[in-house]
Structure 1
Amino acid sequence: MIRTFKGALLLGAGLPIIGAIPAHAEPAAWPAGATATGDSAAGAAISDIVVTGTRASMQKGIAVKRQATVIVDSVSSSEIGQLPDFNAGDALRRVTGVNTLLYQGEPRFVIIRGFSQGYNDILVDGFGLASTDVNMGTTNTNGRQISMEVLPANIASHIDIIKSASPENEAGFVGGLANFVTPSAFDFAKPTLSASLKGGQALDSKSNGGNHFVGEAQMSGATRFGSDRQFGLYLSGTYWRRQINVAQQEAGGTQNWYTAAGAATTPYGGNTYPVPSQRLYYNYQNERQRAGIEGRLDWAGDHGLSAFLTGYYFDQKEDSSRNTLNAAVQSSTTDTNQTATTGTLSNLTQTVMLGRYHWRRHVYGVYGRGKAELGDGWLADFGASWSHGYVSNPQTADSFAQTRMAFNYDIGGAVPVFTPVSAANANNLSLYPATTRVEETYGLNSNRYDFQANLGRNAGAKDIGFGVKAGARLMITRQNYGYNGTTYTGMAYTLANVSNGTICGYQCDSPIPLINPSSLDTAFAGSTGITATPNTVSNAGGTYSLKEQIWAGYLQGQYRSDRLFIQGGVRLEATNFHSASTQATNGIYAPISATRNTTNLLPSLNVIWNDSDAGKLRFAISMTLGRPSYGGMALHGGTLSTTSATPTLATGNPDLKARRAINLDLGHEWYFDGGKGMLAINGFYKWIKDEIYSFGAYQTIDGVAAPVLVTQFRNASGLTRAYGLEASLSHDLGFIAPALDGFGFNANLTLARAHMPITLSDGSVRILDSLPQQPGRIVNASLYYDKGKMHGRIAWNYLGRLWDDRFPNFTPTGFYANRIQQPTNNVDLQMSYDLTSNISVSLDIQNVTAQGMTYRYGYNQEMFQSTWKLPTQILFGAKVKL
């Protein structure tokens, strides 16, 4: 089967030879300034659409998809320079086959066709961005991605999700390629200035922290100037702030089983009754701020010359206090009076902890592109980009513990309940001495350089006849990761000296004692006899540098007639990757480094058949890459973290190879009423070689009381297959009845499955039916009203079950403990009313149903693992357009 597809790919690669045959070239007919607006990576032009509102967003997205030469889905701004969402990830959730992974209630990474961030890439106007991905709470820690929290929604006029490869496009994706196309002054018929302000609250109970402020301000403007209005300037700025409390409960990374006599035994052994290994309450007090500015200068000169230059600065700050109450079962614990749902545990350690986590992430840079029409259908362009990413993450965790406590438990309800046998001792804060203070700092400095050059003849998205195009690209990434940690012991104070009230966890049967940070720091500073122990192994292993150079060249040919479009060619990529760190040999640390060189030949073929004036049949086949995370492939020692509920140690693998995927797509699109509606169905099948997974096993590490989860990325030995179906339907509803004039809907469905072989620690193989973070089903649906002065949209987003591989367990006895995120349903509501042609007011309600997150594990997901709450957010706003 694979040989057949490779043959088809090589046949497509021969098209450039055909394309080199002289043919009549239709001169490119660019609207004024269109060449300087940062064309969509999908090759679409949407400048002729002038309607506004949600209906405009849908119709612009349809236009991008219809005119694209590859398989693409798009979301466009529903108003001038503004998407009706708070970060770029919110906006992407409306695109067919796209969803997001949430962190603290905000989108962090993008899922495309069920493929998580490690399978996708993100561009802005076709250029790469520096990473902000360090210590992000995923197994892709120290990855390639920029987190969506850094990017405001109004960064783009439209966002294209490219799902099939072409030689000219970046090849580092298996799921999809997200390209943010920024606004230009040439997008507007006249000078414009707009400002908006939104404010409201995140709603929560008083016992859980109460209501908190949420707000956003945006401003943007565009003008053209010069003797022939050949220059255009677009500027935008945004500020966003949100505070919430996130209450959470966990039952531990594993479960315990006991014999009838109460002694611990193996999983699913003894009397077969599972018992949580922890009752862990969290309450995160989380505050986030985001600010950004963006400017773009365009020039549309004479004789087919044009250029643009863009600069941007996006900054995000996050401060989170994690209040913890953790009753942890010990290895010597016995279980008496046990039934299927209740019992008494003899020996637990209850820890109260305050974790103070601070993140500062920003990305800034400059990029530009110039184009020249050379005559006789030839078009050349050159672009260059520099992007800098920075992350600073200092954090402090202070723990107080009472040992040898007995608890009664009941797991018969929705969540486990632990009740101390001695409530008096449990509530006596003087019985909780300070045990440890851990101070850590994670850091990242990242620079990414991107140089591109292209030359084509008769190779535009609308050119008739044969065409040819060639180009080259050089991407250089330099990153420095830093980690420094110290553990302090021997403090002389107790929880009673620093406490300040209580707050609820997920439920309020055992409130979490609150620790006063000022009192805590004063007590620590005044305590004598403290011992400071540097985390030597982690400091060495977590500090490393890397450099990656990717040289790429491509040659592609195309042919277009009235009904047929064929595009094919090859892309050659050569990668040089070098990493350096330190490593201990017999206790002596010395520099280490590794270098790896790889070359990949990546053919692709796209075919479009216009079987009617309103129908398109699309076929695509290609080879692409899924590059490993930098932390996974860099040579560095282990980074040990003991502050989390499960101590972890991650190590790099310099022999890690990129995934190689053969991608097959077949679909059909039907367009209605001149682009006002669309039905699209597309199937995909992917054969993935050298799939990457994180192998985890619990091991005993010197100096750590609890078993440590040691993980390392590695390539799967077998062939992984992933396949799925996408369907989308959108249309105005006025054709049904006059009473529905102004109403419309947009709905899409993605079904995805996989066949992924995993080798366990004993050499046995398990077959998984999903990839990491791959949901089996994604559904997006929205109903909108857009008529006269009234505009509104209610949107539903469904994410099916997925395997959360942040804490993988690939041991035969522990395989049951792999966590499965349960389905989520999110509903958002947005309404606005035009007071005048220049002033409007709005109402936004995010997460109407207060949807949280729940995880389960077990061979049939029969056991509760964790759950947390996320609040509803209500904002009122006003916008002025001049």
Structure 2
Amino acid sequence: MYMHRTATVSTLALIAAAAAPAYAQDASSVPAAVPGATQEATPQSQALPGDPQVATAEQDIVVTGVRASLASAQGIKRNATAIVDSIVAQDIGKLPDNTVSDALQRVTGVQVTRGSGEAGTVLIRGLPNIATLINGRESFTGTQRGISLQDLPAELVAGVDVYKTTTPDIIEGGLSGTVDVRLRRPFDFSGLQVAGGGRAVYSDQSGKWGYLGSGLVSDRWTTGIGEVGAMVGVSYNKRQYRDDTAFDFVSNPITPATATTPASPAIPDTVGGTYASGERTRLAVNGSLQWKPTDNLELYADGIYTRYRNTHDVSFFIGLPKATAVGGTVVTSTYPGNPELASGTHSTNAFTLTSKQAYQDQTETYQADFGTKWTTGPAVLSTELTYNYSKLPNRSVIVDTSFNAPTLDVNFDNNGTPLIKVGGVDLTNPANFSLATLFDNHSVATSKQWAWRGDLLYTFDDSVLTNFKIGARFTDRQADSQATASQGLGIKNPPLVSAVPGFGTLSPNGLVQGASGIGQFVDADTGFLLNNTNTVRTLFSQPTGDRAYDPSLAFFDHEKTYAFYGQLGYGFDIGSMHVSGVGGLRVVNTAEQLTGFGVSAKANYLDILPSFNAKVGLTNNLQLRLAFAKTLTRPEFAQLNPLVSYTTTGNTGNQSVFYVGAGGNPALQPIKSTAYDVSLEYYPARSTSITAAGFYKDLSGYIQTYSRTETYLGRPALVSRPRNTGPGKLYGAEVAYQQFFDFLPGALSGFGTQLNGTYIFGTTQDPIFGGQQRLVNVSKYSFNAVAIYEKYGISGRLAYNWRSNFVDSYTSGGSQASSILVAPTGQLDFSGSYALTKNFTITFDATNITDRVYHDRFAGLNQSGIYSSTPRDTRTYDRTFEVGGRFRF
């Protein structure tokens, strides 16, 4: 009957003038905290002879807090071999935001998607295809290629490095970039460290409190067997959240066109809204042991465990303006410029649904790593063995309830939001609602991997070739997924909600801040559905117990990779300019075997991935970078799933399809690109920089999701699948500026700023209809503006993040335009603290201060060949307010 729906900085001349070198102690070098958690296998630790090095305490004035963090991040960027942007937590528990994904939104060229009270998907230069590492090691969640970065709490993180270009020793897989999360280790500290903190969090839309707590203990000792260090860190948080959505679904006419009459105006099949509420908890534990039996030999063991629990629900109001019972009528009004599309309806005796969708989502993820590093003369040999395991068991219980509305009036476009008025029935009376349909499903996804790598770094003295590095890596990963079918189960002699004790409840109130006209309504109680599932099954004449997994929805993927690389570091002078860099090859063989219900496929492919990075010191404080690389990004395991889950659309109008479905595509090929980068970086002082970068990528086989009509059980089905697109390109430019205004008098000298802006343009070839189209998720413009203050123990940061419109998806179906375009959006956040003593700090934070509203629209040519732009979603999110404190001894 319906489907469950799943500027730019422009004043560089003035900035350059303001950023002139003002501090004698900073004129010759840029201090940067060397990332102790980074392994030898990552390029960040490969500072080359002649490169600017970390200043010593005797050479520089020691600073702490935000200023020190920015100086350390700037030093990492300046000294790195590749083009890198970093975030550094100078103090324990002092990453600027609550999670890694929250913090990354401030990085130049990075955008995030938001929902469920947090930042979710991370996009680098508009694309989500990133590789995620923990301490330089591949990490993942479930059947994903990468880890869910929001699972990593800020309290355990020493820093985050965003690699926008690659070197041969970086693990392949990041089309748009690589994110390396550096966790703390005991040798990062000089001795005993005890730190912790906690915060209480209020979310205004949900009207509920949550909390976060963390602690860390680390120490190191000199013993008879050498130096030993041990560290453990723990973080736990519980958050309540609520997201509201008011929506218009795709439109279809009530009556089709004939030889003599045109089709009736197309009306959205459904219209309504959702309250998505949840209680989410996360636990993270990080442990590390380091042992140096001699000065030139180190052995280590690291482990991290993350646990995610999310009990959440969706209270769904589904108006069906075309689904009138006997004697009902539908009267339409149309758009003046698009008479083929309805702008509003008046329906009588309208069949209407509410629905409670209750979910229990879980994740258990482990990573254990054992390694050693041996330095002998000019050579450094390192090896490590890593084990990753992740399991995601999820379940859902969904029950639709129904009633007939004497009148249903809908304005589909009331300033971009549908306005819905239901007359003649009390929506808060459970005696007016009957049970209708049950969706009872569960799934489990597991993934485990063994990975080994070995590396040799050899450094030359007094040579143009400064070093060479070779290495090998082997992985063996099994990813499995099983699930039940999602078809709805009907009910005989449906009872009233009021006749089932404990079943009914009332939804939240005031959808999308009251703009949709939807208030409270009756639906099922979340706790009743999840805790009394067998009772619900009995009501629908189903056997008790979990449904058996559907074999047609299972897939099993076994993947092995063999990688070898070699690279040369070089450095030489051209007059007063020093040139340095790294060049080489990474060779990767991938062997994959995919099996499913009646499906078996094998793939074996070899890729040669050259890369080259050059850094030219034009002056002492000005450097130019040039980079070239070929990249390989494999499809997500779930995208390769050959099987499709179908749902009937029912009879809510003259749809062209009887089913809608979603599935994977075992024919997917890896995404390949050839990337060119250039950057110019000016560092006049230790926490001051002005940088500009340009990039261009040739894309081949980029993966996007498209819907197309297929045949299922002899009926047409609109099936959504990921597909490789044709040739494409992505190019753009970034500018960034940061500075503390120490030259100002008195208290004003505590002010500082970070500004960055990005321009991106990307297209690819439509795999269904041909022609070039915009890449999804890519905003042409985005910027961050951050005002900072740090003085007299006060630390504050007011940050505004903005991005321009972007395409969400194509081929949505329906008579209206089928491309979904998201409107520009921005968010304002604040973070502040006051140091009561050198050991204790109180904090206050606020997010989404301006209470942003999300809008997207169906835009483009509709089925009549006429341009139209009609509303789809309006969404509102929580504002959060946090108070807390942290300590360190």
TM-score bin, normalised by smaller chain: 0.7 to 0.9
Partner Cα distance (2:96, 2:538) in 1:
52
Tell me the residue number matched to 2:133. Answer: 123
Aligned to 1:792: 796
Are 2:69 and 1:52 equivalent residues in the alignment? no
Q: CA deviation at 1:301?
A: 3.8
Q: From 102, 106, 111, give the equivalent of 1:94.
A: 106
AA partner of residue 513 (structure 1): V
- Indicate whether 1:63 and 2:71 are aligned: no
Q: Report the Cα distance in structure 1 between the residues aligned to 2:34 and 2:849, rounded to whole angstroms.
A: 44
Corresponding residue of 1:568:
583
- The equivalent position to 2:755 in structure 1, one of 747, 754, 762, is 747
Which range moved further: 46-55 or 174-183?
Answer: 46-55
**Cα gap change, 1:613/1:864 in structure 2, threshold over 3 Å: closer, same or farther?**
same
Confirm whether residue 577 of structure 1 aligns to residue 589 of structure 2. Answer: no
Change (3 A) 1:843 1:529: closer
Residue type matched to 1:727 in 2? V
Question: Which deviates more, 606-615 or 730-739?
Answer: 730-739
Shift of 1:734: 1.9
Partners of 1:42 and 1:160 within 8 A in 2: no
Q: Which residue of 1 aligns with 2:20?
A: none
In structure 1, distance between residues paired with 2:372 and 2:396: 45
Kindly provide the CA deviation profile for residues 166-203 of structure 1, in whole angstroms up to 9, marking residues without a partner as x: 11111211110000112122222332111111113111
What is the one-letter code of the residue matched to 1:686? K
Question: Aligned partners of 1:459 and 1:494: how far apart in 2?
Answer: 82
Per-residue deviation, residues 518-540 of structure 1 (Å, max 9, x unmatched): 66649945956725699999822
Q: Is the 8 A contact 1:75 1:94 kept in 2?
A: no
Q: Which residue of 2 aligns with 1:308?
A: 300
Does 2:229 match 1:232? yes
Distance 1:273 1:372 in 2: 75
Shift in Å, 1:327 = 0.6
Q: Does the C-alpha gap of structure 1 residues 212 and 552 become closer, same or farther in structure 2, counting only changes over 3 Å?
A: same
Residue aligned with 2:779, SS: coil
* 2:244 matched residue in structure 1: 247
Is the Cα contact below 8 Å between 1:459 and 1:469 reproduced in 2? no
Residue among 605, 610, 617 paired with 1:603: 610
Residue 649 of structure 1, CA deviation: 2.2
The residue matched to 2:320 in structure 1 has which SS?
Answer: strand
**Residues 18-61 of structure 1: per-residue CA shift (max 9 Å, x gap):** xxxxxxxxxxxx99996987675433676958632111221111
Deviations 1:444-497 (A, max 9, x none): 11112221111121179x997432211111122211111024753325312333
Distance 2:624 2:447 in 1: 42
Q: Name the residue aligned to 1:7.
A: none
1:680 is matched with 691
The one-character-per-residue Cα deviations of 1:714-770 (angstroms, maximum 9, x if unpaired) are 222x3101111111111111235555211111121111111211033xxx324213x
Number of the residue aligned with 1:499: 504
User: Which residue identity is paired with 1:564?
Assistant: V
Deviation of the 1:310 alpha carbon: 0.6
Looking at structure 1, the residues matched to 470 and 528 of structure 2 have their Cα atoms a distance apart, in angstroms, of: 65
Q: Distance in 2 between matches of 1:246 and 1:149?
A: 17
- What is the CA–CA distance in structure 1 between the aligned matches of 2:837 and 2:823, rounded to whole Å? 45
Q: Which consecutive unaligned segments of at least 5 residues does structure 1 have?
A: 1-29, 133-141, 584-591
Question: Is the contact between residue 397 and residue 643 of structure 1 (CA under 8 Å) also seen in structure 2?
Answer: no
Question: Could you tell me which amino acid in structure 2 is paired with residue 594 of structure 1?
Answer: A
Compute the TM-score of the two structures, normalised by the length of structure 1: 0.85
Matched, 1:877 2:887: no
Partner Cα distance (1:112, 1:871) in 2: 25
Partner of 1:490: 491
Could you list the per-position Cα deviations for residues 249-303 of structure 1 after superposition, in whole angstroms to 9, with x for gaps in the alignment?
A: 1111x13468xxxx5669xx97997643322211122111111110111223425
**8 A contact 2:553–2:597 mirrored in 1:** no
2:273 corresponds to 1:281: yes
The CA RMSD measured in Å over matched residues stands at 3.3
Give the whole-Å Cα distance in 1 for the aligned partners of 2:355 and 2:136.
45
Map residues 124-143 of structure 1 onto 2, 5 A cutoff: 124-132=134-142, 142-143=143-144
Counterpart CA distance in 2 for 1:699 and 1:348 is: 31
Distance 1:307 1:778, change over 3 A: farther
- Residues 1:711 and 2:720 aligned together: yes
- State how 1:789-828 maps to structure 2 within 5 Å: 789-805=793-809, 808-809=810-811, 816-828=817-829
Structure 2 counterpart of 1:594: 601
* Superposition TM-score, scaled by structure 2 size: 0.84
Letter in 1 for 2:215: M
Change (3 A) 1:663 1:459: farther
Q: Is the 8 A contact 2:823 2:854 kept in 1?
A: yes
Q: Deviations over 1:836-855 (max 9, x none)?
A: 11111111112212224222
Question: Relative to 1, partners in 2 of residues 1:121 and 1:467: Cα closer, same or farther, differing over 3 Å?
Answer: same
* Matches of 1:477 and 1:435, distance apart in 2: 43
CA distance in 1, matches of 2:33, 2:789: 32
Q: Structure 1 residues 79 and 219 mapped into 2: Cα distance closer, same or farther (>3 Å)?
A: same
Partner of 2:400: 399
Instruction: Answer yes or no: is the 8 Å Cα contact 2:132–2:140 preserved in 1.
Output: no
Identity %: 21
The CA distance in 2 between the partners of 1:221 and 1:172, in whole Å, is 34
Quote the residue 1:480 is aligned against. Answer: 480
Separation of aligned partners in 1, 2:788 and 2:692: 22
Q: Deviations over 1:833-882 (max 9, x none)?
A: 11111111111112212224222122177211012211111111111211
Change (3 A) 1:822 1:703: farther
Q: CA 1:698/1:499 → structure 2, altered by over 3 Å: closer, same or farther?
A: farther
Q: Which SS does the other structure have where 1:476 is aligned?
A: strand
Instruction: Describe the SS at the equivalent of 1:338.
Output: strand
Contact 2:322 2:330 in 1 (8 A): no
| CA distance 1:404–1:593, change in 2 (3 Å) | farther
User: 1:187-226 maps to which residues of 2 (within 5 A)?
Assistant: 187-204=188-205, 211-226=207-222
- Residues 164-183 of structure 1 mapped to structure 2, 5 A cutoff: 164-183=165-184
- SS of 1:111's equivalent in the other structure is strand
Residues 853, 402 of structure 1: CA spacing in aligned structure 2 closer, same or farther, 3 A cutoff?
same
For residue 158 of structure 1, report the CA deviation from its aligned partner.
0.9
Residue aligning to 1:103:
115
Is 1:318 aligned to residue 315 of structure 2?
A: no
Q: Which residue is 1:515 aligned to?
A: 524
2:353 pairs, out of 332, 347, 351, with 351
Structure 1 pair 33/342, CA: closer, same or farther in 2 (3 Å)?
Answer: closer
Give the letter for the 1:773 counterpart: N
Are 2:764 and 1:756 aligned? yes
The structural deviation recorded for 1:797 is 1.1
Question: Structure 1 stretch 76-85 or stretch 656-665: which is displaced more?
Answer: 76-85
Q: CA distance change for structure 1 residues 275 and 403 in 2, over 3 Å: closer, same or farther?
A: same
SS state at 2:67 partner: helix
Tell me the amino acid that sits aligned with residue 457 of structure 1.
Answer: Y
> Is the partner of 2:74 in helix, strand or coil?
helix
What's the offset of the Cα at 1:439? 0.9
What is the distance in 1 between the residues matched to 2:400 and 2:566? 60
- Deviation sequence 1:657-685 (CA, Å, 0-9, x none): 10110000011100012x22111111000
Q: 1:431 to 1:201 in 2, by over 3 A?
A: closer
Deviations for 1:619-653, whole angstroms, at most 9, x for unmatched residues? Answer: 0011001211112224x322235799997523332
Q: Secondary structure at the match of 1:612?
A: coil
